[in-house]
Structure 1
């Protein structure tokens, strides 16, 4: 893996979004494994241990896939083809900003200020573009975020509603405006803080579920965001080959841990190979 030289977010929006992730994920980890689980399984060692191991496995994958997504250089900088010697083929474009030829499926990102190989989109939560070399890690980051949020929400439901009495309409107000209620001092109790984290887990579950459905659907159809908008399915090789293009030759193991090596079958440049193979 080639590491990006500039890994810090370049815009205020990216910076704030990344800070949010870096704060809320550890908080949810602490809430789920150090507050909720001991309260639910204080007398049952075996289920507590199993859930504790599972929770750490999810957290390990969130951190690992996030790190790889941010660090991985998926730009065309290391693969620039000089304009004077390049043979322009179908899909190649001259990028006026980078002053080089960009291969098919590559687009320039104004935020990252470079062309990205097989660019899917710019992610504000990681502060970088998702492209050919870090697509796998980004999707797995999303997947384990969803698992973690759903896990925290399901067990948080038992925890919250066994220690909090429902009083209409105040309980509804506390759930709809948990941040305002807590930080403006209307209710700064620890229970309100737990309720705040519980609501965040509920919203996070829904949000990451939608993102997972969207991005897995793109992968199965063999397209990236720009191609999906244009209804361009030129590189659709069938679901299994499409999955292999993102997760590599060992796609059946790549979802377990980000540290499992899985060689990509394509270099992210010569896409005419896939087209000829498809024909």
Structure 2
């Protein structure tokens, strides 16, 4: 099915606006500095390595922002599908329930977001960097955004390290440079703006690598298990085999989606219909699971006696 685009794509909350502007303002200058200043200082222009790293940097940059924008554009709310055409005959037996905020029948694995003011299909969380919820239809773009943010920032750190401490060792290989990286306020009392720019960009890349690493681990574990962040807290993954779990997120052409966010990849599900076991409401799932566990413990005690 064709993806529906959101009408209001800009962040609404102040924390969302701040985090969105943080990435939008600082990432382009860092990429430009790396490609125009750092890479030519290490690899002579018009050589193979210069052209290769420059092309790779542009590829990473376009994928970071392309996937970020796609995450913001793609509508993953219940409005993205025609609910009337997918509601089963007995919806409440299939996990459908009435949202107390929207006051309408919504599919299983859908939850209301107070920031977005709507129910989200297979809701994972509300992302402050994009100002929107991550759900069934835009999870692919969010995962690729984190992946390329990590790869791009790590590559930038490697080249900035060589640029500062080897190419310009006389300027940066000083104990004061390390102090300024630890305590950036020292940059105001020593050195000019140009001398401190690499240190500022280095610190920002370190923050980006650490943050993207944490988010990658936190969100890729549910992806591998076929679950979401919310469902992981309930310890009930909707998992199947690894191959199917990945196709559920990245679609039928999952081998190609890492190349560009503009490549289409049809998802396996419509975001509303899941099998009977998965469709059961999470509260009932938890009770049923606890009942099975209590029964298993009683059986073990009986056998031990």
Normalised by the length of structure 2, the TM-score is 0.83
Q: 1:206-245, CA deviations, whole angstroms, 9 ceiling, x for partnerless residues?
A: 2212211222211110100010011012x21111100000
In the TM superposition, 1:98-177 aligns within 5 A as 98-162=102-166, 163=168, 164-168=171-175, 170-177=176-183
Which residue is equivalent to 1:242? 245
Q: CA 1:49–1:78 in structure 2 vs 1: closer, same or farther (change >3 Å)?
A: closer
Which residue is equivalent to 2:92? 88
SS in 1 for 2:11: coil
Q: CA 1:34–1:273 in structure 2 vs 1: closer, same or farther (change >3 Å)?
A: farther
Matched pairs, number: 271
Which residue is equivalent to 1:20? 22
In the TM superposition, 1:195-214 aligns within 5 A as 195-214=199-218
Aligned equivalents of 1:250 and 1:33: distance in 2? 31
CA contact (8 A) 1:80 1:100 kept: no
Deviation, 1:186, is: 5.2
Q: CA 1:78–1:214 in structure 2 vs 1: closer, same or farther (change >3 Å)?
A: closer
User: Which runs of 5 or more residues in structure 2 are unaligned?
Assistant: 280-305
Deviation, 1:80, is: 6.4
Calculate the aligned-residue CA RMSD, in Å.
2.1
Deviation, 1:203, is: 2.2
Instruction: Flag the structure with higher helix content.
Output: 2
SS in 2 for 1:88: helix
SS in 2 for 1:89: helix
Normalised by the length of structure 1, the TM-score is 0.91
Aligned equivalents of 2:53 and 2:202: distance in 1? 18
1:261 aligned to which of 247, 264, 288? 264
Aligned equivalents of 2:42 and 2:23: distance in 1? 26
Whether 2:79 is the aligned partner of 1:72: answer: no
SS in 2 for 1:122: strand
In the TM superposition, 1:40-55 aligns within 5 A as 40-42=42-44, 45-55=47-57
* Larger gyration radius, structure 1 or structure 2: 2
CA contact (8 A) 1:72 1:134 kept: yes
Q: 1:177-217, CA deviations, whole angstroms, 9 ceiling, x for partnerless residues?
A: 22x344x5654421111111011112211221221122221
SS in 2 for 1:115: strand
Q: Which moved more, 1:193-202 or 1:267-276?
A: 267-276
CA contact (8 A) 1:93 1:102 kept: yes
User: Which runs of 5 or more residues in structure 1 are unaligned?
Assistant: none
Which residue is equivalent to 2:284? none
CA contact (8 A) 2:20 2:128 kept: yes
Q: 1:29-83, CA deviations, whole angstroms, 9 ceiling, x for partnerless residues?
A: 1121011001111366211011001111111111211111000000012446479
